[in-house]
Every structure is written in C-alpha cells, then in structure tokens.
Structure 1
Amino acid sequence: MRTFAVPTRSEVAPVNQEIFDNLQKSLGFVPNLYATIAYSSNGLAKFLAYQNAKTSLNNREKEAVNLVVSQTNACLYCLSAHTAIGKMNGFTDEQILDLRRGKSENPKLNALVQLAADITINKGRASEELVNAFYEQGYTNENLVDLILLISDKTAMNYVHNLTQVPVDFPVAPAL
C-alpha cells in the first residue's frame, strides 16, 4: 500500500498554508489528519467549513456521535482525537468508553449514540425502533438531519485516516 507522508506547510497550496497558520495559532499544532487533507488544494477549507458549521446538536452530543461513529469505523486517529475532545466536554474516561460501545447512562445520549451507530453500520438505514427511541427522547427532524450530516463528516475523516494511516498525534485512545 502507498505510504502517505504528512505534508508540511511548505508542501501545500498557499490557501492551505494560511489555514495551517490559523490552526497553529488556535490549536498550537496542525493535526496530522487536517494536514493530510491539505493534499487537496480545496479540501481542507471545504472540510473545515463543513465541520464547523452550526448544528442543532450541542458539543456533548456531537462528541458522543463522533466517538461511536469512529469506533464503528475502527478509526484510531479519530477515536484518539475525540477521546481528548470528549474529556474537554466533561465526559469521564468510563463515559467515553461507554459511548464508544454505543451506550450511555443518560437516556437521551443513549438514544442518540445507538441510532448513530445503527445508521453508520447500515449505511444510512436504521431500525424503526431506534428511530422511534430517538424521537421519544425529544429529538426533532432537524436533529435527525444534523445527526446524519455529523455522521457523514466523521465518516469522511475516518476513511481518510483508515486509508492513509498517518501517525496519530493525540494521546492514543485505549482499546475496548
């Protein structure tokens, strides 16, 4: 299989160099997966705009979905990144492991992660029971659309890493 080197700032298009500078200022580093997306002159800006777009899901809900989707897609990079981000959003180590397993002691998050996992596993299809449980927890049609968009965002990143296997530059997530 082809080896993917993480491109440096000088190896990417000028538009991506500016994004690298902004990431360096805001995060303190350029995550390897973002740098890899910068192989595309347009891909990084396009992806970051998509990823950072407003959503009806709150940060904890987004991280719960990111964790279960990354687990379902077996992406160590995203599991590692979202374990760190999940902790920044108040999840404990045990809660993060539970979310990766597709469950939560919180009934609303439980319905969300179960549906997210089912949608991911079944390529956009889900059991009627899980969809109904999602709505019974107070989620709306807007939330469902935003969930699907979030799953697509995370799946794209999972696929980029699973194919390129660039080095993980976050503390490595523990195995389940």
Structure 2
Amino acid sequence: MPRIPLITADQSTAEQRDLLEQTRRQLGRVPNLYAALAAGPAALRGYLALRDALAAGALDARLREQLALLVAHENGCEYCLAAHTLRGRRMGMSDEELAGVRQACAAEAHPHAVLRVARQVIRSGGRLTDDQLAEARENGMTDGELAETVAHVALNILSNYYNHLARPDLDFPSAPAVPDADDRPADAPERSARHQRNGSLNWREGATVALADGYHLTDGTGEAVSRLSDVRVAFEGGFAHVAVPGVDAVQVVSAPAVQVVVLRA
C-alpha cells in the first residue's frame, strides 16, 4: 500500500502541475513514482534535471537503460526493475540480455566495463581499487564516462530509495526473477551468473576455458577459479555457457570475459 499519496493535477500546486505536465509530455503518462516524488517538487525537479542532463551525455540510451536496470537489481527495487525491464524490451533487448545486465554482464567489452564499474561503485561506495580502475580504462572507458557512470548510479539510487520509502503501486508489468541472483556482500569475490542447464545449446565437450583477470567460475569443489579443463561449453547471444562436472547449474559469463577457449578436436 502506498505510504505517500500520489500528487494529482486537481490536488497540486502550480509548481507540481508544471512538473507533472513536463513528465506527461516526455513519457506519455505520469508513472506513480513521479506522482509520488512530486510531493517534494524540488526533489522531482532535481531528478528530472539530472536525468535530462545525462541523456545528453556520452552514454547512449541503451546503456543508460541497462545502468538503470542494474542499479535497480542491486538495490532490490521492484518498481524500477519492472519499469526498466519493460523499457529494455521495447529497445529490443532479449530476456537473456536483460538477465545478463542484472548481473553486470554485456556482450561487448565497453558496455560490460561500464556495468561492472557501476556495480563496483554501488558495492564499494565508490572505492574502486587501482586495478579495477585500470581495467575499466583498458576496456575503453574515458574519465568522462567514469564520471557519468557514477552520476547514473546516483540518479537511480534516488528513484530506488524513494520507491522503497513511498511504496507507490506498481504500474508496470512485474519483472521476472533472475535465477540464482547474485546477492553476495560487497567484499565477496565476483562470480559469474549461474543459470539452469539448457539442453537446446550447441555444446562442445572436453573444453578448457580461461577467463580474464577478475572473473571466476566455480569448480566441482565449490572453489572460485579462473581456469577450468574438461568442461562443456556453448556460446549463444554473446554469452559463454559453461557446464562443470559436479556443479548442477550452468555458469554463464559474457563473451568478453573469456580469454581462451581450447576445444577438443
């Protein structure tokens, strides 16, 4: 049940009506989040101003939407997960791609780096290590993009946290759950997303897989390792699916995270 009433056109100040009309012109309607945030006109005006400023920045619309989805996932914001899943689908993102984004995975190196930096910022409070920053730059992130990524995290934390506080009714289709969602604490080693076995993939037997620095798979003993031998591997949709003996779930990493794959002849 909503804990902060929605501001409507007939129960609003002139400033609130102006902000709601601005939202309606841009989005075609006024989502409940915006109607709730209008309770504090300065907050809504600031949110819209930062959002519009970032829309004119270096990161394209697709990546901005992916960042919003990732931040919502990290913060467990049901409302924003629903909104940005819908928008991502309308941009042509598949369900597999959307699930990968929520685990900070993308098929191409640059957006993958941006998503990883965003997650590192959230989990560390912005305290990235020198190695993490160097890795981001090696994958093409400029200083301007680093600044904008932090700004996108801040923008979406604002909407996530306010949703947690206000609890507006959900006016978007619910987002699907992501299997085995990564809910480890910020200081835990990063591991790949894991999904259930998919028999429709084109599997290759007896492969050796080595990942780039900072990426890990789980071996049959439960240890995080960067190299595995005698595994099954399949590639689809920009992701590598790795089936490890003794591990029930297929492990999925984005293709740019894979440094070497040796296939049995």
TM-score, normalised via structure 1 length = 0.91
Counterpart Cα distance in 2 of 1:139 and 1:106 = 13
1:10-35 CA distances to partner (integer Å, 9 max, x unpaired)? 23321221222233344232011111
**Higher relative contact order structure (alpha carbons within 8 Å, sequence separation ≥ 6):** 1
Counterpart Cα distance in 2 of 1:127 and 1:2 = 40
Between the aligned residues of both structures, percent identity stands at: 28
Counterpart Cα distance in 2 of 1:62 and 1:114 = 14
The AA in structure 2 aligned to 1:160 is Y
The AA in structure 1 aligned to 2:132 is L
Contact kept, 8 Å, 2:118 with 2:149, in 1: the verdict is yes
Q: Secondary structure at the match of 2:152?
A: helix
- Deviation (angstroms), 1:7: 2.3
**Larger fraction in strand:** 2
Q: Partner of 1:50 in structure 2? A: 50
Q: Cα distance 1:2–1:25, how it changes in 2: closer, same or farther (>3 A)?
A: closer
Counterpart Cα distance in 2 of 1:86 and 1:127 = 31
Q: Secondary structure at the match of 2:15?
A: helix
Residues 156-171 of structure 1: pairs in structure 2 closer than 5 A: 156-171=158-173
Q: Secondary structure at the match of 1:42?
A: helix
Q: Partner of 1:10 in structure 2? A: 10
Larger radius of gyration: 2
TM-score, normalised via structure 2 length = 0.62
Q: Secondary structure at the match of 2:97?
A: helix
Larger mean CA deviation between 86-95 and 49-58 belongs to: 86-95
Q: Secondary structure at the match of 2:106?
A: coil
Q: Partner of 2:186 in structure 1? A: none
Counterpart Cα distance in 2 of 1:52 and 1:25 = 13
Larger mean CA deviation between 111-120 and 80-89 belongs to: 80-89
Contact kept, 8 Å, 1:115 with 1:134, in 2: the verdict is yes
**2:68 aligned residue (66, 69, 88):** 66
- Deviation (angstroms), 1:2: 8.4
CA-based RMSD: 1.8
Counterpart Cα distance in 2 of 1:88 and 1:165 = 25
Contact kept, 8 Å, 1:13 with 1:41, in 2: the verdict is no
Counterpart Cα distance in 1 of 2:26 and 2:51 = 16
Q: Secondary structure at the match of 1:166?
A: coil
Q: Partner of 1:121 in structure 2? A: 123
1:79-132 CA distances to partner (integer Å, 9 max, x unpaired)? 111112222333211101110111122222211111111101111212333322
Is 1:24 the counterpart of 2:45? The answer is no
**1:76 aligned residue (69, 72, 78):** 78
Contact kept, 8 Å, 1:33 with 1:166, in 2: the verdict is yes
Counterpart Cα distance in 1 of 2:71 and 2:108 = 18
